[in-house]
Amino acid sequence: MDFNKKVSLKCGVCGNSNFDYDDTIYNSIDDADQIKCSACSKMYTKKEIIDANSTLITNTSEEMVSEIFEKNLKGLGFKIEIK
């Protein structure tokens, strides 16, 4: 069972999910201290972009927990009905 899930972070201003970073300073966007929305140019620190996406991150983690719980119950022979 795969317990990894990637969350595409979105700009809190325009909803875009593409960001730019200074590639003359950083090797990758994961290393960058600041990123910029490629659509509206809003600048974010790592903490700010995570805070702006806290609901999305929480919802994704809750969905993962539900999926894992459901798969484990089915593996034990339980039937799940959602009404």
In a domain, 19, yes or no: yes
List the single range of 2-6, 33-37, 77-81 with lowest mean pLDDT: 77-81
In a domain, 28, yes or no: yes
38 shares its domain with 19: yes
36 shares its domain with 15: yes
At residue 19, does pLDDT exceed 70? Answer: yes
| Confidence grade of residue 18 (pLDDT, cut at 50, 70, 90) | very high
Q: Which domain holds residue 65?
A: 58-83
In a domain, 1, yes or no: no
24 shares its domain with 43: yes
Rounded to two decimals, what is the model's pTM?
Answer: 0.70
pLDDT digits (tens, 9 = 90+) for 23-35: 999 999 999 999 9
17 shares its domain with 46: yes
The number of distinct structural domains making up the chain is 2
Could you tell me what percentage of the chain is helix, strand and coil, using 3-state DSSP and rounding each to the nearest 5? 35, 10, 55
% of the chain exceeding 70 in pLDDT: 86
- What is the reported pLDDT for 79? 64
Residue 57 near residue 50 (C-beta atoms within 8 A): yes
